[in-house]
Amino acid sequence: MSAALNGKTVIITGGGSGIGQATAILFAQQGAQVTIFDIDSQAIATTIQNADRTPAIRGWLVDLTNPDEVSAAFQNYFQIKPRLDILVNVAGGSGRRWGDGPVDECSLEGWYKTLDLNLNSTFYCCKYALEKMKTQKSGVIVTVSSVLGLVGGDEDFATHAYAASKGASISLTRSIAAYYAPYGIRANVICPGLIATPMSQRAQNNQHIREKLVQLQPLTGDFGSPQDVAQAALYLASDSAAFVTGSVLSVDGGWTVR
């Protein structure tokens, strides 16, 4: 077994499914001691089950939109683990169910819920991780954003609270990279395109969007896989990227290159 992360302690948010699950399993296979923070206990169990004989994954039930729960989770984590080497922020999701959409149509609930889900949760986790990393004078943060944090979406992707939250997570992570570099802390962003995950079921089931993939993601004309993003996260989290901080890595099959 390769061991690019041998002995590293890692927290992965949203590790119960999709990109988070693929990242948790890959990191454990690479020798990391992985802890998942997720709101779905069954999803956590599924990740651990899918990891098969990889023993280094544990899961904690945490509502990442609740700052008190996040604070308590990190406090409990540090009672067990003396350090945190890597934080991977994957947790997030669509706000369509609450009314996210174009600005003039977006509901106030959709706006607030989406920012809670995608931006505030990332801030809470970075806050408590950085308190420890700053003391350690080392650490890595990888934040999973979205191509919609970089470019505007047409009518098929006009969820403006989502785009705003993902764009803000890019700025937050780059600000962290700049400020905390003297403490030996690196922070980078991944911007996936359309990836075949539970979150993208609407797009996967939409024939019109599937037909657009030839233009949207011309490299393959298809959805990417969670493993594509997990491999990018592995690079940014590992010592192979020791001189990389503040970068925004698109994993999008060519979406943003046009």
Which residues are known catalytic residues?
Answer: 162
User: Do the Cβ atoms of 229 and 23 come closer than 8 Å?
Assistant: yes
Q: How many CB atoms lie within 10 A of CB 1?
A: 7
Contacts of 100 (CB under 8 A, 6+ apart): 94, 106, 107, 110, 111, 113, 114, 159, 160, 161, 162
Q: Which residue type is seen at 161? A: A
Amino acid residing at 255: W
The H or E element that residue 134 is part of is: helix 121-136
> Do the Cβ atoms of 141 and 173 come closer than 8 Å?
yes
C-alpha gyration radius of the chain: 17
**Dist. CA 252–CA 237, nearest whole Å:** 19
Torsion 147-152-157-159 (CA) sign: positive
Give, for 67, the enclosing helix (H) or strand (E). Answer: helix 67-80
What is the rounded distance in angstroms from the CA atom of residue 165 to the CA atom of residue 114?
7
